C-alpha cells in the first residue's frame, strides 16, 4: 500500500568490522567475499571486531543507498524516502 508521505517501513544499516592477519598485504579492491573465503580456506586469519546495527527511516535509507552508489529505487523508495508508485 502506498501513502502520500514518507514510508512507514523500517530499514537497517549494519556495520561489521573484521580484523584480518596475513603474510602479504591484502590487494586493494579485493572483494569481501574473497577475503572471507581466504580466511576459511586459505592463508588469512580473521576475527570479527564490531557489529553495529542502526534502524533507518525511509529518508535515511534513501540517503544511505545514494552514498553507497546505489539508488533509492533498490528498496522501492523515492529520493525523499517515500514509497515509489
Model pLDDT for residues 33-64, shown as the tens digit of each residue: 999 999 999 999 999 999 999 999 999 999 99
pTM score above 0.95: no
Residue with cell 508521505: 5
Residue of higher predicted confidence among 29 and 4 = 29
Q: In which residue are the cell numbers 580484523 written?
A: 19
All three cell numbers of 59, joined, read: 529518508
Distance of CA 25 to the CA centre of its chain: 24
Q: Where are the alpha helices (DSSP H) in the chain?
A: 32-41, 58-67
Amino acid at each position: 500500500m502506498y501513502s502520500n508521505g514518507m514510508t512507514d517501513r523500517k530499514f537497517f544499516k549494519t556495520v561489521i568490522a573484521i580484523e584480518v592477519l596475513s603474510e602479504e598485504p591484502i590487494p586493494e579492491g579485493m572483494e569481501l567475499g574473497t577475503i572471507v573465503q581466504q580466511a576459511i580456506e586459505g592463508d588469512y586469519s580473521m576475527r570479527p571486531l564490531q557489529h553495529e546495527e542502526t534502524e533507518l527511516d525511509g529518508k535515511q535509507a534513501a540517503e544511505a543507498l545514494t552514498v553507497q552508489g546505489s539508488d533509492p529505487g533498490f528498496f522501492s523508495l523515492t529520493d525523499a524516502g517515500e514509497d515509489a508508485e
